[in-house]
Amino acid sequence: MYSDLNEFNRKPEPYSRHTTDMLWADPWIAQKMLKVHLDESTDLTSRRSQTIDDIVGWLDRKIGLSGKNVCDLGCGPGLYARRMAARGTRVIGVDFSAVSLDYASSDAAAHNLDIEYREADYLIDDLPDAQDVISLIWCDFCTLPPEKRHTLLERIKGMPNPGGTFVHRLGVSR
């Protein structure tokens, strides 16, 4: 009996359950999330348009986006992918939210842009190689528990061309 009581009282290991997909990929929640991504009154989930314009402009000045291969991990509704593609970048957007990717694909078509969107979990599924830039935008790296950060960094190591760049946690203070 005491061993059962001990088991009931045992506290879970911190970070022992990784439930991000339940938040982002659930269709009902993802629809609500998409509204927040596109909401110009908040920087929750995606920055506002002006900030995204500024970030992509900064990236372009720093790295020179035209003609580059960019893989945007956790691309969401493609707000960065679309702007990078408009600057002549070949973009592959990876995300596990089908709802966000549907929006991103329609948006790319509406802007006559050729962007490849892949529905995939960047912690598990195959990722493209031969990339000049790998981006993970917003604060997504910091939301991962330590061992998942390690997993992701190990996976990202296999993605770049020589001299390639990994950018994450991009933001602009106003």
6 to 45: interface string for ligand SAM, x by CB under 6 A: --------------x---x------------x-------x
Structure tokens at 127: 């990722």
What is the helix (H) or strand (E) element at residue 70, kind and residue range? strand 69-73
By CB under 6 A, name the one of 46, 69, 89, 131 that touches ligand SAM: 46
By CB under 6 A, name the one of 56, 83, 91, 96 that touches ligand SAM: 96
Crossing angle, helix 27-37 and helix 98-110, to 10 degrees? Answer: 40
122 to 151: interface string for ligand SAM, x by CB under 6 A: xx-------------xx-x-----------
Q: Return the DSSP state at 165.
A: E
Residue 4 or 43 having the CB closest to ligand SAM: 43
Would you say how long the chain is, in residues?
174
By CB under 6 A, name the one of 62, 109, 121, 150 that touches ligand SAM: 121
- In degrees rounded to 5, what are phi and psi of residue 45? 70, -45
- 64 C-beta neighbours (distance < 10 Å), count: 14
Task: Show contacts with ligand SAM in window 52-91 (CB under 6 A).
Answer: 74-76, 79
Q: How many residues bind ligand SAM (CB under 6 A)?
A: 20
Residue 68 or 75 having the CB closest to ligand SAM: 75
Residue 73 or 163 having the CB closest to ligand SAM: 73
Beta bridge partner(s), residue 163 = none
Among positive and negative, which fits the CA dihedral 100, 123, 46, 168? negative
Query: Residue 29: what residue type?
Result: I
How far, in Å, CA of 25 to CA of 3, rounded?
38
Residue 121 or 147 having the CB closest to ligand SAM: 121
Residues near ligand SAM (CB under 6 A) are: 20, 24, 37, 45-46, 74-76, 79, 94-97, 100, 121-123, 137-138, 140
